[in-house]
Amino acid sequence: MFNKLKIWKKANISSNLQERILKVQEQQIPTHIAIIMDGNGRWAKKRALPRVAGHHEGMKVVRKITRMANQLGVKTLTLYAFSTENWKRPKTEVEYLMKLPEEFLGNFLPELIEENVKVEMIGYKDALPAHTFHAVNKAMDKTKENTGLILNFALNYGSRAEIIEAVKGVVNDCNSGILNQNEINEDVFSKHLMTSGLSDPDLLIRTSGEIRLSNFMLWQLAYTEFWFTDVLWPDFAEVHLIEAIEAYQNRQRRFGGV
């Protein structure tokens, strides 16, 4: 049940926003929200700060948006934290980004456990530094019995690579006799993706004014509602999440029908 006192106690929520929160609660909340968290570097540049300062500020936003999504009753929140293409960035920036999960989960994990949040990850773990891998694995292990919001980090994730690996998995199952090629359908293919067990996103949010998917969940976003904003991720607040959900609730989802 929506615990408004808990939300308003942990965040500086205006009376106007309180009313908007209660109103969106009267309609269907997206089951799965995915967010492309963009604009950390530009946020820092506007303030003559190093890019890593924007990433650190963005980490704080993850915390408050996770709280709000959990209290609203969102079932899954997938955050695009680091793509397979992000390794091309300057070494110092990549090294800093790889330290953020350790810092974030080290500070936030007790609250995640208390709030019944389950941490999961999609992406290629083997290429992560040992300290990053350990921090994520620890959080997943400590929260594996939780039954509330799934906080799903897309870390070292790329959708094209995911799809290719899924194709290989299907081919392997056919070659080994586990699967007949005539049995291949969307459901079978989806079970070979990293998101197997999760519903497809209902709502995708991308910040910073960019209007593209950047190799993110290309299969899963087939019928997702998109919401783009010029707000840079470090400036993204609870009010923007509510605005996105309001836009979602005002749309008609036909899934190809009429």
Annotation says 16 is catalytic:
no
Alpha helices in 73-183 (DSSP H): 91-114, 130-143, 159-175
Which tokens sit at 91? 């070494």
Give the helix/strand (H/E) hosting 36.
Answer: strand 32-36
Point out the catalytic residue in the list 3, 16, 38, 235.
Answer: 38
Give the helix/strand (H/E) hosting 53.
Answer: helix 51-72
Q: Which residue has the tokens 């955050």?
A: 79
Strand pairing class (203-206; 150-157):
unpaired
Annotation says 141 is catalytic:
no
Point out the catalytic residue in the list 86, 137, 146, 215.
Answer: 86
CB 128 within 8 Å of CB 55? no
CA torsion angle 94 59 195 256 (round to 10) = -110
CA 191/CA 55 separation, integer angstroms = 33
CA 42/CA 38 separation, integer angstroms = 9
| Dihedral-angle region of residue 42 (phi above 0 means left; psi in -120 to 50 means alpha; beta otherwise) | alpha
Which tokens sit at 190? 């989806």
For the annotated catalytic residues, the residue numbers are 38, 86
